[in-house]
C-alpha cells in the first residue's frame, strides 16, 4: 500500500494496530530500510516524491530477507523495487512481481503519524493471490 506525503489511508482494517517504526527523516529517499514489527520483517521505502511504501522484506524467489536492500526504480510509472538477489522487480503499490505476476509480496499499510515526522506501519496486510 502506498501513501503520498500528505494523504491518509482509509483502507486499513479496523483491527490493524499501528506501530511507530522510525522518523520520516530517517528514511533516505530512494533507499530501503528494514523494520521488525512484532517479529515480521517489513521493507520500508521513501520514493523521490516523498511517498511511503511497505512490503514484506522476504524475497519469495530466494527465500532471503533482502528486499529492503533492493534497487528502487519505476516501470510504466509504477514505483518498483528490484530484488538484490535474482533481480525480479516488484510494484511497491501492489506487491505484484512484474516479471512473474503469479507472485506477489504482502503489502502493509504505512502512514506518517505524530505530526508527519514519524512513520507508522500496520501489521494487518493485504496479499494479492
Residue at 27 is within a domain = yes
pLDDT, tens only, 102-125: 999 999 999 999 789 999 999 864
pLDDT, tens only, 21-63: 999 999 999 999 999 999 999 999 999 999 999 999 999 999 9
67: domain range? 2-9+18-119
Residue at 88 is within a domain = yes
Residue at 112 is within a domain = yes
Residue at 106 is within a domain = yes
| Angle at alpha carbon of residue 20, lines to 15 and 23, rounded to 5° | 150
Residue at 127 is within a domain = no
For 101, the grid coordinates are: 505476476
Per DSSP, the chain holds a count of helices (H) and strands (E) of 0, 10
Residue at 129 is within a domain = no
Flag whether pLDDT at 127 surpasses 80.
Answer: no
Comparison of pLDDT for 27 and 4, the residue scoring more: 27
Q: Give the pLDDT score at 59.
A: 98
Confidence of residue 11 (pLDDT cuts 50, 70, 90): very low
Q: How many domains does the chain have?
A: 1
Least-confidence region, from 16-20, 49-53, 64-68, 108-112: 16-20
Q: Give the pLDDT score at 16.
A: 80
Least-confidence region, from 3-12, 16-25, 81-90: 3-12
Q: Give the pLDDT score at 14.
A: 55
Residue at 125 is within a domain = no
Residue at 43 is within a domain = yes
Q: What is the CATH number of the domain that holds 46?
A: 2.102.10.10
Amino acid at each position: 500500500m502506498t501513501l503520498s506525503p500528505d494523504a491518509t489511508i482509509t483502507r486499513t482494517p479496523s483491527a490493524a494496530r499501528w506501530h511507530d517504526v522510525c522518523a520520516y527523516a530517517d528514511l533516505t529517499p530512494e533507499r530501503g530500510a528494514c523494520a521488525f514489527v512484532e517479529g515480521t520483517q517489513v521493507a520500508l521505502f521513501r520514493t523521490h516524491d516523498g511517498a511511503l511504501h511497505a512490503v514484506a522484506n522476504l524475497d519469495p524467489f530466494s527465500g532471503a530477507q533482502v528486499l529492503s536492500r533492493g534497487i528502487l526504480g519505476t516501470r510504466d510509472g509504477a514505483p518498483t523495487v528490484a530484488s538484490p538477489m535474482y533481480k525480479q522487480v516488484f510494484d511497491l503499490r501492489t506487491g505484484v512481481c512484474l516479471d512473474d505476476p503469479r507472485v506477489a509480496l504482502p503489502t502493509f499499510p504505512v502512514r506518517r503519524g505524530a505530526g508527519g515526522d514519524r512513520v507508522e506501519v500496520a501489521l494487518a496486510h493485504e496479499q494479492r493471490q
